[in-house]
Amino acid sequence: MKTLPGIFAATVAAVALTTSFAWSETIGPSGETATPSTEVAVSDETAAKLRDGGHTAALLWHDQSDFVNAVTAGATDEFERLGIEVVATTSAGFDAAKQRSDIETALTRGPDIILSLPLDPVTSAAAFEEAKEAGVALVFLSNLPQGYEHPADYAAIVTDDLFDMGKRAADALAEAIGGEGTVGWIFHDASYYVTNQRDNAFKTTIENDHPNIQIVAEQGISDPARAEEIANAMLLQNPDLSGIYVTWAGPAEGVLAALRANDNETTKIVTLDLSEPIALDMVGGGNVAAIVADEAYELGRAMAAAGARALAGQETPSFVVAPALTVTADTVEEGWMESLRIEAPASLRGN
């Protein structure tokens, strides 16, 4: 996206909780152009036809979390509107072998649609093969099995506006540190499409849109448990860091612990995905300046709609993105509801 940095910074400051229209910068796993999730919908006429079909769906997730619950809620509500019964829900616990087992087991119920996050392009290629051959409408969240082609093999990939998430993080951190200073960049040190795009978008935005901010420390992380020691080392070498970007909320909790242990109240943190401990620090005026989140419920709704459209023989875009939002201390309650469709935890309410 080529928005003016000044305008964007002002936007972040004034309207922390806004949705994004920066679709063009997030690129699909195979280089696909993004389609906004709002454009993926099932008409009432199609819904009426689907309701009589006795169709079924399976939700085969990678893990359990508030995010997955919100995606599930969005998908379930949309399926309910369309008269499609959810016959199986699973969690693979990030285990590629269990994901394959879950797919095989769910296929026993003969679902017409499968919504899933393939854990890994390589291992999931064989795992989804049976479902693909059975003609199930496959809608993937954020990842694509290697060698799969649209529309023959799958209905759609739905994901966050990943570039916009990283860009929002950069702009929020720039705003928090007054547009100048030095920052640390803690990125996900793994070949993972989602985090890689978000992390790189942060770096690109800082480098291109914020000339007075320098990234002086870069450190990859693969194990969130090591975040505190990574942050300690980073602060030891760069004691005057104005801010730190952390790839997602889990490791951000470790970075926050390191800052507290060092009695550092000035270095600002910006991270991605909602987390109660991180948000609690933010509403208490601590180190955390902002959290960038996705609209998980909308992701689920769009996935269900894409699957239903494929089932009805209608065209589906190959790559769909749902909006991102920036959550600050002032917008935490609205942000929680917007992202996860649940109330913010009690500790965050009324601040």
Binding residues for other proteins, rule: CB under 8 A, are 61, 64, 86-91, 93-98, 100-102, 104-106, 108-110, 120-123, 125-127, 146, 189-191, 222
Closer by beta carbon to other proteins, 38 or else 101: 101
Cβ nearer to other proteins, comparing 108 with 263 = 108
Residue type, 155: A
Taking Cα atoms as reference points, which of 344, 345, 327, 165 lies closest to residue 247? 165
Determine contact, residues 183/216, Cβ cutoff 8 Å. Answer: yes
Q: Which is nearer to other proteins, 90 or 242 (CB)?
A: 90
The span from the CA of 71 to the CA of 311, in Å, is: 20
Query: What burial letters (b/e) apply to 306-320, b meaning 16+ CB within 10 Å?
Result: bbbbbbbeeebbbbb
**Residue 245 CB, nearest distance to other proteins (Å)?**
21
Comparison of 3 and 30: residue with beta carbon closer to other proteins: 30
Between residues 93 and 178, which has the closer beta carbon with respect to other proteins?
93
Q: Which CB sits closer to other proteins, 115 or 173?
A: 115
From CA 244, how far away is CA 266, in angstroms rounded? 11
| Residue 335 and residue 274 in contact, taking contact as beta carbons nearer than 8 Å | yes
Closer residue to other proteins (CB): 143 or 287: 143
**DSSP classification of residue 37:** G
Contact present, 243 and 173 (Cβ < 8 Å): yes
Question: CB of 216 within 8 A of CB of 241?
Answer: yes
User: How many angstroms separate the most distant Cα atoms in the chain?
Assistant: 65
Query: Closest separation between CB of residue 81 and other proteins, Å?
Result: 19
Separation CA 267–CA 288 (nearest Å): 9
- Residues sharing a CB contact under 8 Å with residue 249, sequence separation 6 or more, in sequence order: 271, 272, 273, 274, 275, 278, 291
CB 339 within 8 A of CB 292: no
Amino acid code (one letter) for 79: F
Whether the CB-CB separation of 287 and 268 falls below 8 Å is answered with: yes
Kindly report the backbone phi and psi dihedral angles of residue 182, in degrees, each rounded to the nearest multiple of 5, phi listed first: -115, 145
Nearer to other proteins, 38 or 123 (CB): 123
